[in-house]
Amino acid sequence: MAPSKTNLTTLKQHLKQASKEELTDEISELFKTFKSVKEYYQLKLSPETEQYVGENYKQTIEHEFFPARGFGKARLSVARKAVNDYKKVCRDPAALVDMMLFYVEQGVKFTDAYGDIDEPFYNSMESMFESATKAIAKYGLQGVAERRCRTIVQDTSQTGWGFHDALREIYQATFSK
């Protein structure tokens, strides 16, 4: 028989039984052990550090496409993980949209520098662009992000695989209302 998984109810029961000191020790241990917990509390306790934390994730993304030395590996799994990890700690929708658009901009810049890539690459860029535009619409950030999104679409006009067409359709669905 497989052991049962711990669920939220079990966790809450455990936390209710713990003393304040035990909870402090446990959270301190999580803070020391997990980078995402540290960043979560950094942003919760010092919201003004949002840009600093975001820059670290941007460096990870940029390094995948354009490292300081050599050629970019464009490992989308690494770059997307940076966006997804940032999403878990980010408290500002505009900062999250900025991160998602940065990912797409780096991908567009990469394909401009190295030529056509492959369909999975473009699918990843398209899905991130679509996620960004949905967040833009949801949080009313059209005025802040419209020009940037338009530039992304314009910069793909010579790109194959239907990439430009897909981005243009996503753009129009968000900004042509």
- pLDDT digit string, tens, across residues 38-59: 888 888 888 788 888 899 999 9
Query: Which residues have CB under 8 Å from 83's CB, separation 6+?
Result: 57, 61, 99, 100, 103, 128
**Mean pLDDT of the chain, nearest integer:** 92
Q: Where are the domains of the chain?
A: 26-175
H or E element at residue 17: helix 8-17
Reported pTM: 0.86
